[in-house]
Amino acid sequence: MLTVNDWVRVERTCWHRPGRGSDTPADAFVGAALAAVSLGARELARRLNQNARSFDKAAEDLARAAQVRLSGEKLRQLVEAEGRAVLAAQRSGDFDLGWTAADCATEAGPTRVYLGGAGVKAPVVTDAEKKARRRKVKEKRRRRGKRCRPPPRAKAGADQKHKEFKIVAYYSEDQEHRHVAGTRQGHEAAGRLMRRAAARIRLDRADEKVANVGGADWIRNQIRRQSLPLGAVGLDFYHLADNVHKARRAVFGEEDEAGRAWAAEALHAAKHEGHAALRGRLTAWRAGLRGARKREAADGLLQYVSKREEMNRYPEFQARGWQIGGGPTEAMCKTTTARLKGSGMRWDADNAEAVMALDALDQSGEWKLYWRSRLRPTG
């Protein structure tokens, strides 16, 4: 059995045969070596990584905390491999989440579950950056003057420096129960996350099922496409306020007190009077503006509000004691991507997704449940 000190350098060559697909024999060897690390060390490595500035720093902390010595690169392999295992377990439902909608009782009596959805950007390595790095490695090898094995085949990089990851969350009124998951694979994958998690928590059995989501079209589209059993879908008040203040700055300027008063009145109308009152105020305001730039800003806000008429239900939500803000979802977006956004960090999208999955596991309160069900001592 390999031990933690038995690491060797492995050339990761990928072989392909027509009709048979691709195979990377070294992966099985590396996987066996990773599994040879003890259960306690593996969990501790992942815990330390969550709040570390880098994998090297996490490896240093692991050595100090548990006298287990791994290089930053080996620790990275451990963390990302486990993140991929978490993603697979989430897709298959291999471990119990520890709660269902029946556990989400409110002080007033009925059970209530919220759905949140949002997009968040994370830094990724572009294809140009990968090619530049590869040229530097080749040049360094050439200057050494020694014959070296060819470098492993490179992954394709991204076309932009940041990519959007989709976050889906279910949570109770008091947030004692919550489940958060993320994906890099686009709208359809996020919709499948919504549906899969709804089944796992038995969303249909909640007395009140409320979506409190951002204004992105993909969220509403996926809610409809996945036929989620929701009783109401509302626009997160923060997103409405953000768009109102964006228009306010374009028309009045950043610090204008009249502009601030106008924005406060518009948001008050939305919160307490509803969509018709808000739209009426915006239409009258737009009619009195002079200048193409100001009217363009007002038109943008009017279009944003009009497209989301059915989501402007703030008076109803408040009357029923429902939340109108998506603060819990926004907080989860920040915490699940915090490890990805350190200074100078760039990620392959699949590795970023794997690291994010571990943070999502922790934010969901599912860390112990997952490790208890998935990991077994080796040896």
**CATH code of the domain in which 112 resides:** 3.30.420
Q: What is the pLDDT of residue 295?
A: 96
Q: Residues 6 or more apart from 76 whose CB is under 8 A from it?
A: 55
The rounded distance, in Å, linking the Cα atoms of 266 and 254 is 17
The rounded distance, in Å, linking the Cα atoms of 31 and 85 is 12
Tell me, yes or no, whether 226 and 246 share the same domain. no
Tell me, yes or no, whether 109 and 184 share the same domain. yes
Could you tell me if residue 271 is inside a domain? yes
Tell me, yes or no, whether 110 and 206 share the same domain. yes
Q: What is the pLDDT of residue 38?
A: 67
Q: What is the pLDDT of residue 37?
A: 64
Could you tell me if residue 33 is inside a domain? no
To the nearest 10 degrees (0 to 180), the angle between helices 25-35 and 72-92 is 100
Q: What is the pLDDT of residue 31?
A: 46
Q: What is the pLDDT of residue 4?
A: 41
β-pair type (208-213, 232-235)? parallel
- What are the structure tokens assigned to 280, written together? 């009426």
Give me the number of domains the chain comprises. Answer: 2
In the chain the first and final C-alpha atoms are separated, in Å, by 7
Strands of 215-268 (E only): list them.
232-235
Q: What is the pLDDT of residue 5?
A: 38
Block means of pLDDT (10 residues each) for the chain, length 379 residues? 36 48 45 56 83 90 87 90 89 87 94 95 90 84 78 81 94 95 93 95 96 93 95 95 96 93 96 96 95 95 96 96 93 91 89 93 90 61
Tell me, yes or no, whether 195 and 114 share the same domain. yes
Tell me, yes or no, whether 276 and 209 share the same domain. no
Could you tell me if residue 170 is inside a domain? yes
The rounded distance, in Å, linking the Cα atoms of 278 and 228 is 29
Could you tell me if residue 84 is inside a domain? no
Tell me, yes or no, whether 116 and 202 share the same domain. yes
Q: What is the pLDDT of residue 9?
A: 34
Tell me, yes or no, whether 198 and 105 share the same domain. yes
Tell me, yes or no, whether 192 and 291 share the same domain. no
The whole domain housing 279 covers 239-311
